[in-house]
Structure 1
């Protein structure tokens, strides 16, 4: 898995990210979604590496990157034990330590640390929210934006109805604080999470995923991501819309045909007001986890899109 890639823990000051990086050429960062780690890209990253320098981190709060403490104000030093020099990032009442703005800042600092001032950003699921926020907050750094099976948080929340609440109920469950979801999930993670076997998603990817899912600190970090999504992330989207800010770079949406991103209607039309340029919209013959289920098609679409000259 990731033959020729380097695995590092990179200290960014307040957080440390576990990062896989390799290849050569114009840089692209790959951001995983929930509940995956960076290893979800194991079949895509090598395909891109012949043309691009590929960087795939665990987002803060996921995998082996710095995880938030369980209580606001918990002392420093709560980084993952596999990264003992990483400081813990104290939790905040508004969960802003897990906001997509904070994660986007991590992405820019990480890429700068690796020597890349401008780069493409690709995100799936929750990672797509981080990719979008990176393009919005740091337009000078992002050359191309690719979002996979995702819409801006505010677009989902403003369209919430009985159907969305019933099908996407995990947003509300994971976002609870009075009755934390962590207690339910960590009691029996094998019953809670259903994933394909190692013969489908790769033995090392499967092992890395399940090491994370059985770690109570990672489960807490993932819940904090959703808590931020229901509050501070929505506020950031609302402020951008009110100010008329849009994504400046070329953008592409990869939509899985066996998923339900169209629950609110045509996702391309929902994305359009957030973009300065026309959206490239491609359908991927897969379920939700595109990088694992259709790596050849995903890689081909990314290579074709990233071939275009950066603005």
Structure 2
């Protein structure tokens, strides 16, 4: 049996012309949407979502281009812009009956959540971003030998076809590399979940690359326009990160504070896949955020 979030139902929800998102939905109460990262699907939230569903409506979609959601062709640079992916999430919540909701994202999902909170401040009540920097800041601080940890960012930023062909030649090795080296607890992603992640990624190479390519282009433009305009996140914001260490040469809390006046920044003792490695800590942090 394929892994799933216990007690959740799955829906395929139209959110844009020709695009529907696969979403696991469970619980009752005030809504919170949880967005997954790379190289994962909505399954990464299985522990946190089941806990939050005790008193919240919890919506866990696969992002456009990932998992069982639709994967439109990258016909122009807006198709996988975080602005477009954020609009998907707002549309998804509205179809499910929620005009306002809290939003948490990990990794790629955090970038979508960040853009949704900037573009739709009247819709997003609370924001949590896990183990990521805003796109504009990420490119600004990556340099020298320490940037080697982000080699995939540079690879997938290249023009179409080359990165797609390289990754498609060995997709399990490529995506599996990140599942191995980014985790501090190999048991946090059991074999059936790992298989589900690799299967999903193997079938989504062009759209995953397009998502990353957007982050080296149009997403930077959108972030820069907001920074130039002095736009900030108006809602309570929680940022959780693993201990990146001083060697990276920047202070993540300071970078985030330029965007979020109402910020709580916390370091979590785990690897990158924190919702799977430290679900209790993440659930508590989200509950604390929702209480603000």
Normalized against structure 2, the TM-score is what?
Answer: 0.91
Q: CA deviation at 1:294?
A: 0.9
Contact map agreement 1:24 1:49 (CA 8 A) in 2: yes
Name the counterpart of 1:212.
200
The unaligned stretches of length 5 or more in structure 1 are: 70-90
Give the unaligned 5+ runs of structure 2.
none
3-state SS of 2:26 partner: strand
Aligned equivalents of 2:167, 2:224: Cα separation in 1:
31
* Aligned counterpart, 2:259: 274
Return the match for 1:131 from 110, 113, 122. Answer: 113
Aligned-partner Cα distance in 1 for 2:109–2:245: 17
CA–CA separation in structure 2 for the residues paired with 1:179 and 1:261: 36
Distance in structure 1 (CA, Å) of the matches to 2:202 and 2:187? 20
Q: Does the Cα contact within 8 Å between 1:68 and 1:220 map onto a contact in 2?
A: no
Give the conservation status (yes or no) of the 8 Å contact 1:150–1:261: no
**Aligned twin of 1:75:** none
Taking the aligned partners of 1:148 and 1:262, their CA distance within structure 2 comes to 20
Which residue in the other structure is 1:297 paired with? 281
After TM superposition, give the deviation of residue 57 of structure 1 in Å.
Answer: 0.4
Q: Does 1:283 align with 2:286?
A: no
Matched, 1:59 2:77: no
Residue 205 of structure 1 and its aligned partner are, at CA, apart by 2.6
> Which residue number corresponds to residue 244 of structure 1?
230
Provide the C-alpha distance between the structure 1 equivalents of 2:218 and 2:102, rounded to a whole number of angstroms: 25
Root-mean-square deviation over aligned CA pairs: 1.9
Distance 2:59 2:106 in 1: 14
Aligned in 2, Cα 1:19/1:179: closer, same or farther, shift over 3 Å? closer
How far 1:203 sits from its partner (Å)?
4.8
Higher helix share: 2
Report how far residue 207 of structure 1 moved.
3.2
Secondary structure in 1 matching 2:63: coil
For 2:145, the equivalent position in structure 1 comes to 163
Q: Secondary structure at the match of 1:53?
A: strand
My pick for the range that moved more, 172-181 or 11-20, is 172-181
SS in structure 2 of the partner of residue 237 of structure 1? helix
Q: Match for 1:92 among 75, 78, 91?
A: 75
TM-aligned CA deviation for residue 261 of structure 1: 9.5
Paired residues, number: 282
1:191 and 2:179 correspond: no
CA drift at 1:307: 2.1
Q: Shift in Å at residue 193 of structure 1?
A: 2.5
Spell out, residue by residue over 1:68-123, the C-alpha distance to the aligned partner (whole angstroms, 9 max, x if none).
Answer: 32xxxxxxxxxxxxxxxxxxxxx234x21001000110010000111111111101
1:119 aligns with 2:82: no
For the residue of structure 2 that corresponds to 1:143, the secondary structure is strand
Instruction: Write the mapping of 1:169-180 to structure 2, written as runs, cut at 5 A.
Output: 169-177=151-159, 180=162
CA distance in 2, matches of 1:225, 1:153: 12
**How do 1:8-23 residues align onto structure 2 when only pairs under 5 Å count?**
8-14=11-17, 15-23=19-27
Q: CA deviation at 1:178?
A: 5.5
Per the TM alignment, residue 202 of structure 1 is displaced from its structure 2 partner at its CA by 3.6
Pair 1:2 & 2:5 matched? yes
